[in-house]
Amino acid sequence: MMTSLASRAGLVLCAMLLAACAATPVKQTPVLVQTPPRVILVPDPSVAELLAYHASVRLMTPSELARAQQDMAAADASAKNNLRRAMLAATVHGTGDLVRAQALLEPIIQSTGKDEQMLAPLAQLLFAHYAETRRQDDAIEKLNGQLRDAQRRNDQLNEKLEGLKNIERSLSVRPAAGAPK
């Protein structure tokens, strides 16, 4: 009987300990988090038009590019038309065309006029792109020069090797030792 009383007391004690250990739920206070306002950029229609023009220029054939350059030569010297001229020059990508394209973009970037300021970010982007293209073209030209030099050295070494082979073949074969003379 004592063991059953002791076991009951142990159970009650364990139950009380468990009840005491049970954590009361922590009351959480809601935290207000402010989300930043959504910024909706409405592109300027003229910038969107210039981006569409840039996309179309990249798909033009050389004859279409030449025709477009002739058309732009007759157009006025507005900021939009200078951007178009720069896009055409960079797409043609002949000698000095990237430099000419950058020269057309520079006044737009540095201008303080309202129309030019709206086009300045696009002009800066194109200017940076053309500068990077020029750097890559210079690196390609340098590597091509190194390749030509290496090929020329390789050809010279092959010629020397062939000359040595010809000398070796022209040498008479020596008679074996102990052979009658």
70 HSE (CA, 13 A, CB side): 6
Task: Count Cβ neighbours within 10 Å for each residue of 43-72 and write b for 16 or more, e otherwise.
Answer: eeeeeeebeebbeebeeeeeeebeebeeeb
**pLDDT number for residue 64:** 92
pTM above 0.85, yes or no: no
pLDDT tens digits, the chain, 181 residues: what are they?
Answer: 556 767 777 777 777 766 666 666 667 777 777 888 877 766 678 888 999 999 999 999 999 999 999 998 888 888 899 999 999 999 988 888 999 999 999 999 998 888 788 889 999 999 999 999 999 999 999 999 999 999 999 999 999 999 999 988 888 655 556 656 5
Distances (CA, A) of 148 to 39, 43, 86, 151, 159: 54, 48, 33, 5, 17
Residue 118 in contact with residue 47, Cβ under 8 Å?
yes
Could you tell me which of 122, 52, 131, 143 has the C-alpha nearest to residue 90?
131
Handedness of CA 70, 71, 74, 76 (dihedral sign): negative
